Amino acid sequence: MTRRMRTCRMNTLRALGLAATALVLAGCASDDGVAGSVGDAGYVSGDGFVTEIAAGDRGEAMEFGGETVDGDAWTTSENAGVTVVNFWYAACPPCRVEAPVLVDLHEEYGGDVSFVGVNVRDGAAQAESFDETFGIEYPSILDAQDAAVQRAFSGQIAPNAVPTTIILDAEGRIAARISGAVSDTSIISTLLDEELARQ
């Protein structure tokens, strides 16, 4: 094969690769800003869109709970106040991206804010391994069996992507939802500071 033929073949392969990538990206996007299922992972990943609810428009206080990865019980009645609720599972790539951000936020706000994860797919072993890998010290409810926590939120503002992070105000009402992974602490820090200032 001549040098010119090799160059031509490489350019053709490059063009085909770019076209395939464009098709894949187009297939993941949707009109509502939420990506579709991705490969075998089967997750729906949001785009980081933030929905804030004005204090006067918030619904009833959320009441939910369940068994944690450690086998303990977690309920909103025992963890009152501003709360960060993160919906996740171990094999979800965006969840792995945002885990260090949530660890940083927990270290900064853990004394004033409750943090709880809601694992939507895994058993205790996978969830525990994830927590150990990323140094997560706040509890996670195992919600894969009955989806009770997910159903509790669907009546007001659904966790419509994985991951989703929801902020509850001091009265336990939904104050904000971030649909998709957070890549740094700034968005959640701003939301938490606003809610803590309202107390």
Task: Let me know the angle formed at the C-alpha of 138 by 55 and 176, rounded to the nearest 5 degrees.
Answer: 20
Pair 84, 105: CB distance under 8 Å: yes
Q: For residue 15, what pLDDT is reported? A: 39
pLDDT (0 to 100) of residue 160: 79
Strands (E) across 72-194 are located at 73-75, 83-88, 114-119, 140-142, 164-168, 174-179
pLDDT computed for residue 155 by the predictor? 77
pLDDT in the model for residue 172 = 96
pLDDT value at residue 199: 84
Ordered per-residue pLDDT tens for the chain, 199 residues: 444 444 444 343 333 333 333 332 222 222 333 333 333 344 445 566 899 999 999 999 999 999 999 999 999 999 989 999 999 999 999 999 999 999 999 999 999 999 999 999 999 999 999 999 999 999 999 999 999 999 999 878 878 789 999 999 999 999 999 999 998 999 999 999 999 998 8
Beta partners for 121? none
- What's the whole-model pTM score? 0.77
How far is the C-alpha of 99 from the C-alpha of 101, rounded, in Å? 5
* Tokens matching residue 27: 């297939």
